[in-house]
Amino acid sequence: MKKHILKDYIYHSKIKDHSKVKNFILDEIQKNNNESLKVTDSYFSDSIDRLDWSQSKDSERPWVKFFLPSFTITLNEFLKNSLYCGIQLKEIWYQQYLNNGTHGWHIHGHHYTGVYYLEFPNKSSKTELIFPFNNKFQTINVSEGDIIIFPSHIIHRGLPNQSKRKTIISFNFDIEDDKLGTDKLN
């Protein structure tokens, strides 16, 4: 079988009003009855100290309602730089890692996924990606307040966290393809 190279992009930006968003969401996480995820097997190891994955489809959570206006601005920038005409947010959730917290290799469902680095002190572990057809690793140089968006089929992981605490917001969305931005093609 012959492989053809098709270039793709990882979108990297900043969230508007990060400091305001950060403080509100971190306060909400402290109030929540948080889940945790601890799994170790022969394939991977997960140690996520706080998350709300089971509520990821609930857009009425206070932190999500507060975050959506700033998040929407960033997603609209993503759309402007593409031929897509809209998105449908499918899931959004937080994950908080304490020292040595980790998330093994995985992929997401839907068209695109992403990470917003809400709380990202020095020595926090970055997201590592491996492209499934050429086995090339890539780590994006991110800092607190950054957001990355990439196709959901890209295999990725959160390496062991070396800071006291790291908090991210993860999300999945589908492209609205009723027009696929055909007006941009003409």
User: Which strand ranges, in their side-by-side order, compose the sheet holding 103-106?
Assistant: 103-106, 155-158, 127-130, 137-139
Q: How many residues does the chain have?
A: 186
Domain borders along the chain are 11-178
**Top CATH class, 11-178:** mainly beta
8-67 pLDDT tens trace = 789 999 999 999 999 999 999 999 877 877 776 655 678 888 999 999 999 999 999 999
Tell me how far apart the alpha carbons of residues 112 and 90 are, in angstroms, rounded to a whole number: 10
Q: Over range 90-106, report the average pLDDT.
A: 93
| 161 neighbors 97 (Cβ within 8 angstroms) | yes
Asked if 103 contacts 48 with a C-beta cutoff of 8 angstroms, the reply is yes
Q: What percent of the chain has pLDDT over 90?
A: 66
Which residue type sits at 23?
Answer: N
Q: Would the pLDDT of 156 be above 60?
A: yes
Dihedral over Cα of 43, 154, 125, 52: its sign: negative
The pLDDT of residue 53: 92
Query: Which has the closest alpha carbon to 36: 105, 109, 129, 98?
Result: 98
* 95 pLDDT tier (thresholds 50, 70, 90): very high
3-state SS assignment for residue 78: helix
153 burial level (CB within 10 Å; 0-12, 13-18, 19+): middle
User: Mean pLDDT throughout 138-151?
Assistant: 95
Position 93 confidence tier, pLDDT thresholds 50, 70, 90: very high
The pTM assigned to this predicted structure is: 0.89
* Residue 17, token pair as written in the block: 């009003």
Task: Note whether 133 and 92 are within 8 A (CB).
Answer: no
